[in-house]
Amino acid sequence: MLDFNQIQQGFDAHDKFMGRIPETRADALARQLRPMSDLRPDLSSRYLVKGWLDAGALSVVYGDANVGKTFFALDMAFRVAAGTPWNGNRVKAGAVVYIAAEGGRGLASRIEAVRRADPDLADRAEENLSILTAPINLSSLFDAEALVEVLAPQRPALIVIDTLARCMGEGDENSARDMGLVIRSLDRIRAETGAHVMVVHHSGKDASRGARGSGSLRAAVDTEIELTREDGVIAVEARKQRDMAMGKPVHYRLEDVEIGIDGDGDAVTSAVLVGAEPVVRKPKISGQAEVGMQALFDALAEHGERRSGELFPANRNTVPIEVWRSYCSRHGIGEGNGSSTARTAFFKVKSSLLDKGLIRIADGYVWSVQG
């Protein structure tokens, strides 16, 4: 027996498929509803820079002024344009557009520095790297749509926006509403071009809270990369990764490169990033702990000797703890106090230096970890 309701549903489904009956929102949601049994992990490689940037995603690179953000972003742009590994990480080659909203003159000098320091990299990247030396207003979709119209045919793999502050028009980066408009524009650019969009931004007053301004940007991005500098070494660390494991921190220093001679006959220089070893941060000490450390150095200088055995370092002099204690007393730690107070003062100094990892003790002997 024919079921006329089922027949009618079949005709309706066919008419909707053919566009004769407008699809409702419920119909659209129903098409997206899937049982868990249908879901499988996506194991395809979607990276742009493996361990750092996902293809088609959104990232923010932030740090204090003059920390080297543009040098970093330009270095990564060159690697993507050239299709060469970035610090040992695989890279998928593609067209790159660098929006130098803070002025192209300085960027031109930095590009010339790359040409001179690494001609092969520059040659391989040249056809794929384009520069836009004009600010855009991401607070409205007008500029975003214009940018899409220009860039969509190129299908860029990476678009760098340097800096966010110069691309917000009259928008306020501390306003969640204004930042929401910017995020809408960034998402529009990503969706229409297929590119990964990297935004260069500044740190806030509280570095632990990430980039400056409204937290809505931090919530929206897939990747957050922080740059810090200490003793001339730039540390690059991923602070957020939505869909990939954190890459290992990378360390750079800036190396001057002569790019030409000016009208006065003086050399003109820019810089490029070169690999560097991370800075070993020495624990800060003060007060009696600092005095106790100096007392140990003095004791080691006059009485230090190497000791054999697996408990002792082969490259460090040691002294008996009692010798160190006597030098601490000579330096004023516990001097003039009763024996109990003197012992307490020395114990505090010893414990403080042990906790900070500045000294080691074994079998009644002490030595400095730092030499």
pLDDT of 13 reads 56
73 found inside a domain: yes
Residue 161 to residues 144, 180, 219, 254: CA-CA distances in angstroms? 12, 17, 18, 22
Q: Are 162 and 100 in contact (CB under 8 A)?
A: yes
**Tokens in use for 350?**
């010893």
The range of the structural domain enclosing residue 355 comes to: 287-368
User: Do 191 and 79 share a domain, yes or no?
Assistant: yes
Domain membership flag for residue 40: no
At 1 the pLDDT is: 47
Q: Which of 251, 275, 299 is the last residue of a domain?
A: 275
For residues 71 and 111, what is the distance between their CA atoms, to the nearest angstrom? Answer: 10
Smallest CA-to-CA distance from 363 within 323, 304, 312 is with: 312
Same-domain status, 201 and 107: yes
Whether 15 maps to a domain, the answer reads no
Helix 69-82 and helix 104-117, axial crossing angle in degrees, nearest 10:
60
* Domain's final residue, options 245, 275, 305: 275
Q: What is the CA radius of gyration of the chain?
A: 30
**Residues 293 and 265 placed together within one structural domain of the fold:** no
**Co-location of 232 and 177 in the same domain:** yes
pLDDT for the residue numbered 367:
93
**Residues of the chain where predicted confidence (pLDDT) is lower than 50:** 1-2, 11
Same domain, 91 and 158: yes
CATH code, domain carrying 347: 1.10.10.10
Give the count of domains, the chain.
Answer: 2
Residue 105 CB-half CA count within 13 A: 0
> Does residue 51 form part of some domain?
yes
**Among 158, 162, 225, 168, residue whose Cα is nearest residue 197:** 158
Question: Which of 123, 131, 182, 189 shows the shortest CA–CA distance to 155?
Answer: 189
Position 204 scores a pLDDT of: 72
Predicted pLDDT of residue 17: 53
- What contacts 83, CB < 8 A, 6 or more positions away? 91, 92, 93, 94, 124
pLDDT of residue 190: 96
Of the three residues 252, 275, 298, the one that is the final residue of a domain is: 275
| CATH number, domain containing residue 54 | 3.40.50.300
For residue 347, what pLDDT is reported? Answer: 92
Asked if 247 and 291 sit in the same domain, the reply is: no
Nearest-angstrom CA–CA distance, 138 and 311: 62
Q: Are residues 80 and 131 in the same domain?
A: yes
The per-residue pLDDT for 104 is 66
| Statement to judge: residues 257 and 142 lie in one domain | yes
**DSSP classification of residue 56:** T
Indicate whether 37 belongs to any domain: no
Assess contact for 80 and 94: CB atoms under 8 A: yes
Separation CA 258–CA 260 (nearest Å): 6
